[in-house]
Amino acid sequence: MSKIDFYTNVADPQAFACRLADTVQRKKERLLIWLDSERSVEVFSNRLWSFGDTRFVPHCRLGEPGAAETPVWLAASLPDDLTHPVLLNLGPQLPYEFGRFERILEIVGRDPESLATARERFRAYREHGCAIEHHDMSQTP
């Protein structure tokens, strides 16, 4: 059964996603980041390469040569046959067959659209019996 972590009240979801990716890879966990388009993958990849003044998050696109040795993968679609330890869902919808991920990370901004989407996803995860943990990030810059 997947464990779902919701990070809510996030002021800057993209910057927070970079920090979260950095945290996951520093813990030596493998991370798949699902985004909504190839353009979003390219933009987010650039953010990860310039994360912080002196740091970056090592990553590549899913399926590239060397991906097996890279801790963070980026993808605009989820392959049907992939099982993976951690998924950071920056995608447009609930991941299908989410039980193939040990953990799923969901980032929720402060805008009404993000909150509405998060409520729908929370209900779906709960209906499937997932363990859900909530992290209120309203006090985090």
- Quick: pLDDT tens for 4-55: 999 999 999 999 999 999 999 999 999 999 999 999 999 999 999 887 777 7
Evaluate whether residue 141 is within a structural domain: no
Residue span of the structural domain in which 19 resides: 3-136
- Quick: pLDDT tens for 89-139: 998 789 888 888 999 999 999 999 999 999 999 999 999 999 999 999 998
Specify the number of domains making up the chain: 1
H or E element at residue 113 = helix 112-127
* Residue 71, domain CATH: 3.40.50.10110
Evaluate whether residue 33 is within a structural domain: yes
Q: What is the pLDDT of residue 141?
A: 66
**Phi (first) and psi of residue 33, to 5 degrees:** -105, 120
Computed from CA positions of residues 89, 90, 94, 96, in that sequence, does the dihedral angle turn out positive or negative?
negative
Q: What is the pLDDT of residue 26?
A: 92
* Nearest-angstrom CA–CA distance, 87 and 94: 11
For residue 33, the number of C-alpha atoms closer than 13 Å in the C-beta half-sphere is: 33
Q: What is the pLDDT of residue 83?
A: 72
Evaluate whether residue 69 is within a structural domain: yes
CB 33 within 8 A of CB 75: yes
